[in-house]
Amino acid sequence: MFFEPGFGCQEEENETVYWLLFKGNKFLVIENNGQFALPDINLDQLNIKPIRKQYVGQLDGRPCYVAELSPNTVAPDGMSFCNLRRLFDHIPEDLFVLAGKAYQIMHWDRSHQYCSQCGTQTENKMDERAKRCPSCGFVNYPRISPAIIVAITRGNEILLAKGSRFQTGFYSVLAGFVEPGETFEECVQREVAEEVGIKVKNIKYFGSQPWPFPDSLMAGFTADYDSGDLNIDKKEILDARWFTADQLPLIPSSGSIARQLIDWFSQANYSK
C-alpha cells in the first residue's frame, strides 16, 4: 500500500475512489478469517450518503477520501464497523496509520465547521490542510494535542501504573498532556510528580507516535528515579509499583509506544 498525502483533488470523471468510512469512531473494514482489510467499495452502488468528506491524498494512485457517515448507517454485507482503537495491532500497521490520520482529519473537519471568531461557516483551503473563514479571514489548522509518555527506571526496576481509565486492567508507563508554555521535559517532571509523587532525572527523548484518539501526538521519554516515595493520585491512578523485567504484569499490546518503552527496558534488563 502506497499513500501520498494531499490537500486538494481534481479527480477525473468516473475515476475510482478509495473511501475510508467512519461511523462515529468506528471504521468500516472487511474481515476474512480474522484478518481485517480496507474494503474497495462504490458509495453510489451501495446507496451510502456521507455527512461530510475530506480528501486525504492518493492511495495506490487513486484519490482517497475520509467520510463521516450517519449513526444509522448499516454496514454492507461482508463488512463491519469496528472501533478503531480495538483494531490496533489487528490490521496492517500502514493501514492503521492511514486510518488514524483520516480519523484525525475527520474529527477536525467535524469540529471546525464554523469560525471561532465570527461564527461564519468555514471553507477548505486548497493549498494546505486548513480551513479559512470567508468573512474575517481567520485560518485554523488541524488540532494536535502533544502528550508525554515516560518509562521511569530505578536500577533493574521499571515503574508501571494501572490507570483509572484502563478498562482491561493492564499496567503501563505514565503519560499526560503538555500544558501551555511547558517544555516536554517540564511536562515529564510535573506529570510524574502529580501522578505518583516522585522526582525523576536524566530525562532523555525516546521516540514519538501519533495517537488518533482523537488527536494526540505522544512524545516518548526515558527517565531515572531521583527521590521520593510513591504517593499516587487516586483520581488518575489505581495502582503503581516497581517491577523487574521477569515479573511484569499485564502490559499494553505490541506496536504502541508504551509497549516499545517497556520492551526497551525488558531487553536491557532481562538477562541481568
82 is in an annotated binding site: no
CA–CA dist 35, 206 (Å, integer)? 31
185 is in an annotated binding site: no
19 is in an annotated binding site: no
CA–CA dist 72, 69 (Å, integer)? 8
C-alpha cell at 231: 504517593
191 is in an annotated binding site: yes
136 is in an annotated binding site: yes
115 is in an annotated binding site: yes
260 is in an annotated binding site: no
How far, in Å, are 16, 67, 77, 78, 189 from residue 74 at the CA level?
22, 15, 9, 11, 47
216 is in an annotated binding site: yes
142 is in an annotated binding site: no
60 is in an annotated binding site: no
9 is in an annotated binding site: no
64 is in an annotated binding site: no
C-alpha cell at 256: 504502541
94 is in an annotated binding site: no
CA–CA dist 142, 29 (Å, integer)? 25
CA–CA dist 79, 68 (Å, integer)? 16
236 is in an annotated binding site: yes
146 is in an annotated binding site: no
- What DSSP line would sit under 234-262, residue for residue? TTTEEEEEEEEGGG--S-PPTTSHHHHHH
52 is in an annotated binding site: no
Amino acid at 13: E
Query: What is the 8-class DSSP label of residue 75?
Result: P
Residues making up the binding site for Zn(2+)? 115, 118, 133, 136
Residues making up the binding site for substrate? 85, 128, 141, 209-216, 258
Residues making up the binding site? 85, 115, 118, 128, 133, 136, 141, 175, 191, 195, 209-216, 236, 258
Residues making up the binding site for a divalent metal cation? 175, 191, 195, 236
